[in-house]
Every structure is written in C-alpha cells, then in structure tokens.
Amino acid sequence: MAFPLPGPMRRALALADEAADCGEVPVGAVITRGGEMIAEARNAMREGSDPTAHAEIVALRRAAATLGTSRLDDCTLWVTLEPCAMCAAAIGLARVEALRFAAEDPKGGAVLHGPRLYAQPTCHHRPDVLSGIGEEEAAAQLRAFFAARR
C-alpha cells in the first residue's frame, strides 16, 4: 500500500524539477517548523557559480534568516537526496531536529553512506533521520537528468 507523499516532500520534488530545468542536478529542499514551510531551495551551484549552493545549504540559510537564529532546533529538513558531507555537517551545526530524505546516495551521501557523519563520536548533534520518502520519484529524476547528459 502506497502512502501519499507529505506536502514538504512533494514541494522538494517540484524544486528538484526546477533545478533540472536550469541544468542543475535535481535536488530540492524544504524546511518546516510546526507544520509550516518556512524555507525552500533547489540546487544552484552552476547558476550562482557557488560550489556551496546545494539545496540544503541555501534552505538552511533562508530558514535561519527567516527565524533570526542559526539554531533550527524545532525544524525538519526535507530533501530529495541523501545529504553530502558538507550538507550533513551544516544540518548538524544548525541543530536541525529531523532530516527526511528521499533517495539514498551510495556515492556521495554522508548520512547512511560514506563517512556516516551522524554515527561519528565527534558529532555534536544528530537529527532524527528517516529515508525513503519519495525515493522512487527522486531516483527517477536523477536517472533522467544524468541519462540526458551521457
């Protein structure tokens, strides 16, 4: 039995489509607080000539600006792809309460793969992590994007 996708993940997938339309790797992110979407972003590295402009980083910056604080203790980050090491570290530094992501990334992910950042003893904050929400849709976006470039 398939469950309907939560609204924030549906929005993150739409943002990933927008990223792909702009030639960016299709990743979208939404940050919620108390059920309200407070920030969103899509990958924009090429567009802004900024290697740090991953969807998660841009969404974290926007949420912090909206709330007027660097601590996002009561927020949930919804993202279409498992965060890389840079993004996973930033999520921890922001003290995000929960991380929800769609597709796992065996090559570049740093939450369930690679360095498994939140499992390290030096990690100061570990968000509650749940993966696989919208995994099929996100994986299809990524496959289509990279197939068109090969």
Residue 113 is labelled as binding a ligand: no
In the chain, pLDDT over 90 holds for what percent of residues? 96
What residue ranges do the domains of the chain occupy? 32-148
**Residues near 81 by Cβ (< 8 Å), separated by ≥ 6?**
27, 101, 102, 103, 105, 109, 138, 142
- Core vs surface per residue 14-39: b (16+ CB within 10 A) or e: ebbbebbeeebbbbbbbbbbeeeebb
pLDDT of residue 2: 60
Instruction: Yes or no: say if 55 and 90 are a contact pair by the CB < 8 Å rule.
Output: no
Structure pTM?
A: 0.96
pLDDT single digits (tens) 24-34: 999 999 999 99
Helices (H), the chain: 7-21, 45-48, 55-67, 85-93, 135-147
In the chain, pLDDT over 70 holds for what percent of residues? 99
Return the residue matching tokens 């309907």. 4
56 is catalytic: yes
Which residue in 24, 56, 82, 137 is the catalytic one? 56
Average pLDDT of the segment spanning 131-144: 97
- Does residue 86 surpass a pLDDT of 50? yes
Average pLDDT of the segment spanning 35-46: 97
pLDDT single digits (tens) 59-80: 999 999 999 999 999 999 999 9
- Does residue 1 surpass a pLDDT of 50? no
Instruction: Yes or no: say if 17 and 26 are a contact pair by the CB < 8 Å rule.
Output: yes
CATH assignment of 32-148, among 3.30.390.50, 3.10.450.50, 3.40.140.10, 3.30.70.1290: 3.40.140.10
Residues in the chain: 150
Residue 22 is labelled as binding a ligand: no
